[in-house]
Amino acid sequence: MNGVIHHVMVRGRVQGVGYRAWVAELATSRGLDGWVRNRRDGSVEAVFSGAEDVVSGMVATCRRGPVSARVDAVQVETGNSDLLNLRRAGERFSFLPTV
């Protein structure tokens, strides 16, 4: 793989407002690989893989969120191929079940 993998946790009012669908649409349109899912604590978790500038831009966009969301905090860590490979086989970007 050429590029970076970032593991992102987003907190705030990010569930029930279309945040996951918004993330998936933007990530797909930017050619990123990865996944997004809700967490039982009310946060949204995502993994983005691709060119460093594109992944950084996606993370910056996540800090704003869609108009219906309120983002209070975004935590970004370096991800790895094990995290990336949680996506569904054959999909570039997946919705995963809530954990």
Q: Active site includes 85?
A: no
User: What is the per-residue pLDDT for 50?
Assistant: 98
Best CATH choice for the domain 10-85 from the list 3.30.1280.10, 3.40.50.300, 3.30.70.100, 3.30.1360.230:
3.30.70.100
Give residues with Cβ within 8 angstroms of 29, minimum separation 6.
Answer: none
| 2 pLDDT tier (thresholds 50, 70, 90) | low
Domain residues of the chain, as ranges? 10-85
Extended strands (E) in 2-95: 4-13, 33-38, 44-50, 70-78, 93-95
Check: pTM over 0.85? Answer yes or no. Answer: yes
pLDDT by residue (tens digit) across 10-37? 999 999 999 999 999 999 999 999 999 9
Q: What is the DSSP letter of 25?
A: H
Amino acid letter, 67 = V
Amino acid letter, 69 = A
Q: Active site includes 20?
A: yes
Active-site residue identified among 13, 30, 38, 64? 38
Active-site residue identified among 11, 13, 20, 87? 20
User: What is the per-residue pLDDT for 4?
Assistant: 98
Give residues with Cβ within 8 angstroms of 89, minimum separation 6.
Answer: none
Tell me how far apart the alpha carbons of residues 47 and 1 are, in angstroms, rounded to a whole number. 15
pLDDT by residue (tens digit) across 31-88? 999 999 999 999 999 999 999 999 999 999 999 999 999 999 999 999 999 999 999 9
